[in-house]
Every structure is written in C-alpha cells, then in structure tokens.
C-alpha cells in the first residue's frame, strides 16, 4: 500500500479499519511497518512518512506472544470452531490474550526515533492513554508494578484488568499495541489464562461491566485518540 508523504515528523495518520479479520489487520499493519523500516534503512535522513494509529475490532481470536505458553489456551483447537474463534502465534511481547467484538484494539505504528527511544516510557504512555479515558467515566484505573496493562481496584483481593498491552519494536518502529475491553463478551476469557495470570489471582473486566450499560464505541475512540495525540505530542494528519 502507498501512503502520502510529508515532512512533519510529529504527524499521526489515524486509520479506523472498523470490524476486520485479525489476519487482514495483521497484514495491513505489517505492510505499513515494513514501509517505515525500509525507508529508514534506505534513506534515514529523509524520513517523511507519517506515524500511524490503526483502530479496529476483531472477530473472536486468541493471540499468543513469542514469550507465551501455549498451555495458557485452555480450550483445544478442535473446539475453537464451536465458539467461532481462531488462534494465532505472533511476534509481540507478552503471553496469550483475547480480541473480539466490543473491544477497542489499537495498533500504533510509530517511529520512536522521532519521539523517544525508551520502550518503558512507550508502554507507560499507552497505559496512560487508557487511564485518562477511564477517568472520563469516573473510573480510577491504575498500573500494577511488574504487570503490563491497566487495572481497576489494584489494592483489592481481586484486581480487574481492563486493558492488555503487547508490543514489538524493529529499528525503533512499533508494532502491535493494546486491547481495551469496552463492550467485550468476557466469557471468552474463560478459555485462556489471560497474559498467563491465573484467575485465582486476578480477573478481567470491561467498561460495560463496570458501568452497567453498553458504551458508544465511537465516543471511546474519540477519547482515546484525543489522549493519544496529547500524550505522544502528535497532531492528526489528514489529506
């Protein structure tokens, strides 16, 4: 795919793919990722492609990071079809996670050479975007030391994870991203040990479950992109 070039290193192209199959979205984001890497490799002083933020929702799918354990998928492959789900091994960090309808998935493809070369800061900034969104719904979300993602009631006996994060970097260009449970069917988490964390220790939640009503996904996307632009100090680029 071909993308418009421009000279502003702080511009972000926001692409909403809507409801899309995981493999299609994977190909889409990796094509953009490779374009950025190739341009950096061939002519790093003339980097002109914009950063990208891809937003989407997926049909039911489980993905396993390169450091994950396949036994954390607790439904066998033969029964995946019975719940209309698929399974993919991918090259992000982290363990197993779930994507599905009602979940906001965000894939930032950023050249961190143009922003900051700090993986820890990058992940913390992604978390902060979601924390700020949740503040708008009067929910106090936090981080748990040593565990990536965004959590509710972290001091309780059963903290609830509402957003998972898993990233991959190549030549400081980011891939993969986050999954924010907005109106997700949480029953699908019963078929995995999310991020390798036992449900006896911690559980998962969604915005719908916390508020008691379905939330307009477009409202959530607008809030998320607002804070993403602010926190990464970017501006939206449009044709």
Residues with catalytic function: 195
CA–CA distance, 134 with 117 (Å, rounded to integer): 27
DSSP 3-state assignment of 175? strand
Burial class (CB within 10 angstroms; exposed 0-12, middle 13-18, buried 19+) of 62 = buried
Q: Which residues face 170 on adjacent strands?
A: 173
Determine the Cα–Cα distance for residues 217 and 222; give it in Å rounded to an integer: 9
| 193 contacts: CB under 8 Å, gap ≥ 6 | 72, 74, 95, 96, 199
Closest CA to 5 of 46, 53, 50, 51: 50
């Amino acid at each position: 795919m071909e993308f418009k070039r421009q000279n502003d290193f702080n511009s972000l192209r926001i692409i909403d793919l809507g409801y899309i199959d995981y493999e299609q979205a994977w190909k889409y984001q990796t094509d953009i990722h490779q374009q950025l890497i190739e341009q950096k490799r061939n002519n790093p002083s003339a980097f002109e492609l914009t950063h990208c933020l891809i937003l989407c929702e997926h049909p039911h799918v489980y993905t396993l990071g390169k450091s994950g354990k396949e036994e954390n998928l607790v439904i066998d492959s033969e029964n995946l079809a019975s719940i209309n789900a698929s399974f993919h091994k991918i090259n992000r960090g982290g363990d197993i996670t779930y994507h599905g309808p009602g979940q906001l998935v965000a894939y930032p493809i950023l050249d961190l050479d143009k922003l900051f070369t700090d993986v820890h800061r990058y992940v913390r900034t992604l978390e902060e975007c979601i924390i700020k969104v949740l503040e708008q719904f009067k929910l106090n979300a936090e981080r748990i030391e040593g565990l990536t993602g965004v959590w509710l009631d972290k001091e309780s006996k059963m903290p609830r994870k509402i957003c998972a994060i898993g990233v991959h970097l190549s030549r400081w260009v980011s891939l993969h991203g986050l999954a924010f449970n907005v109106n997700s069917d949480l029953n699908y988490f019963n078929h995995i040990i999310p991020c390798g964390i036992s449900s006896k220790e911690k559980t998962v939640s969604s915005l719908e479950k916390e508020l008691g009503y379905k939330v307009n996904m477009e409202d959530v996307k607008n809030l998320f992109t607002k804070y993403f632009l602010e926190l990464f100090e970017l501006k939206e680029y449009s044709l």
